[in-house]
Amino acid sequence: MAPTTLDRVTIGRWLALWAASLFILVLVGGGTRLTESGLSITEWKPVSGVIPPLTDAAWQAEFDKYKQIPQYEKLNAGMTLAQFQGIFWWEFLHRFWARFVGVVFVLPLAWFAWRRRIPRDLLPRLGTLGVLMGLQGAMGWYMVASGLTQRVNVSQYRLAAHLSLALVIYLITVWTADELINGKDELTGDGGRVTVNGQPVPSLGSACRWLGALLMLAFITVVSGAFVAGLRAGKIYNEFPLMAGRVVPADYAALDPWYRNLFENPSAAQFNHRLLATLTLIGVMGNTKVTENMMLSAYLEDGYIEGALSIGVSGFLIKQCSPNFLVEAIHEVHRGKNAYCPLVVERLNVITKNRKDSAGFTAQNLKPLSKRET
């Protein structure tokens, strides 16, 4: 039996639930990083590692393995078994949930394939997600391994790669789920200008190009945060917008050759993250100037990128080094109360839905944007 529309919606709902589990995995990974728990498990046992230590002897054996790595010797010498258990459970939970995410992907996929319910056009994308998940697991261990021999923490390069893969997998999953549940739509136009309520609407093609650049900027901003975390650069300057009384920190270019500063200099890492986050916020605010009184269509109501963009923009604010008005502005975006937030979400979804600017686009595709209930 050929796949039906209902099959597409069912697969979409499964992927939406899987995306939620991915989001939780990213949050747990963040907690693991913040508590510096990632090196507490020094072995990679994909199958047997699902069972934690159950006896005092097993706990002591795990603790003895941790004592052999540089992080314990240089940073945590004298740690008690109880303290070790605290960081162990964070890393264990991260790995356990990663396995759960894998099962939630593989088992339903196998069932849909066995029942011949997967449309042919979805096979490449689902296959890509499967490959990326496998690579992500390998990258996770590759990252951990970087901190087991000489370093006291993991490589910031591998941490950034691990986070980047997670974001790519999440965005592909959300994009696919949205298409399957809501349908793959196309907006078309004649390339001309349309006005609604006296406000000009730019060419949809131009808008998509602009939004593509904005989305990439937001992505790079989030990934730059991995370098801040990997270099422990988050707290070296705790004021905003200046850094020790300067716009650019005095030691921004301390390393030679110059390009090493972008990835290995803690001061440069924090400055770059601040700058990228500020540019992203400015881009989001400027992006809504020509569309503040309209929205693209009713089916763009629900957005998925809002949370990721809000977190990306506000990453450096967690350090409490931002003025109150900017903190409040970010909170408004995150909660959806600011007028420009829905527009950002809706217009970013245009990119994820592959809408094109060709022929036949009229004002009937648009409707006025009124103040929303909050």
Q: For residue 330, which of 314, 306, 343, 307 has the smallest C-alpha distance?
A: 314
Query: What pLDDT, in 10s, does the model give residues 36-70?
Result: 899 999 999 888 889 999 999 999 999 999 999 99
In one letter, which amino acid is 240? F
pLDDT band for position 245 (cuts 50, 70, 90): confident
Could you report the per-residue pLDDT of 187-235, keeping only the tens digit for each? Answer: 444 444 444 444 454 555 566 667 778 788 888 998 998 999 889 888 8
pLDDT bin (cut points 50, 70, 90) of residue 1 is: low
Write down the domain spans for the chain.
1-184, 186-374
How does pLDDT run across 6-26, given as a tens digit for each residue?
788 999 999 999 999 999 999
According to the model, what pLDDT value does residue 316 have?
39
- pLDDT tens-digit readout, 294-339: 333 332 333 433 444 444 444 434 433 344 444 444 444 433 333 3
Give the C-alpha separation, 288 to 147, whole Å. 44
First to last CA, the chain: 45
Nearest to 101 by CA among 123, 78, 133: 133
Statement: residue 29 has pLDDT above 80: yes
* Confidence band, pLDDT 50/70/90 cuts, at residue 131: very high
pLDDT of residue 165: 94
Half-sphere exposure for 194 (CA within 13 Å, toward CB): 22
**Predicted pLDDT of residue 252:** 92
